[in-house]
Every structure is written in structure tokens, then in C-alpha cells.
Amino acid sequence: MLEHSDVLRIPLPDPPRETFGFDRTIYAGDYPVRLQATTLPRWVEVLDNAFAGVPEGDLRKYYRDNANAFYRLGL
């Protein structure tokens, strides 16, 4: 049986990002449910590792700009 901390180490495929690219995907998380498995700083570390080597412009689209455009937030 996997422990919660083990789940954070399993490399998972990323079909949406691989299929659509950073121009057409938006980050979504399950905070605060995520805190049942890990801490927020640890989750940020996991995300940083998963996106190591990704250009900052693509990360900005994924985390901010695409949602801003889709939801017309005007940020």
C-alpha cells in the first residue's frame, strides 16, 4: 500500500500538457485537500521539480495568463 508521501514521488504522465501545450492548459489544484497528503511548501517543491527546465514564460501561461484570459479576470 502506498503512503501519502510515496504518491508525491510517482512520476505521472501529463497528457494535457503534452497534448495541448502550455498555451492551452490551466493549472488546477485541490488545495486544501492536498494538505491531507503533504504540506503546501512540499507541494510547491513537487511542482517545481515537475516543471524543472520549463521556460518561465510557459510557466506564467500555465499558472496565470491562461486562466486570466479564459475567465476574463483583467489581471
Provide Rg for the chain, Cα atoms. Answer: 14
**Percent of the chain residues past pLDDT 90, beyond the cut:** 28
CA angle 56, 62, 68 (to 5 degrees): 115
C-alpha cell at 38: 503533504
φ, ψ of residue 12 in degrees (nearest 5): -110, 145
Supply the pLDDT for residue 71: 94
- Classify the C-alpha dihedral 39-16-9-61 as positive or negative: negative
pLDDT greater than 90 at residue 13: no
Supply the pLDDT for residue 27: 86
Distance CA 71, CA 37 (A): 29
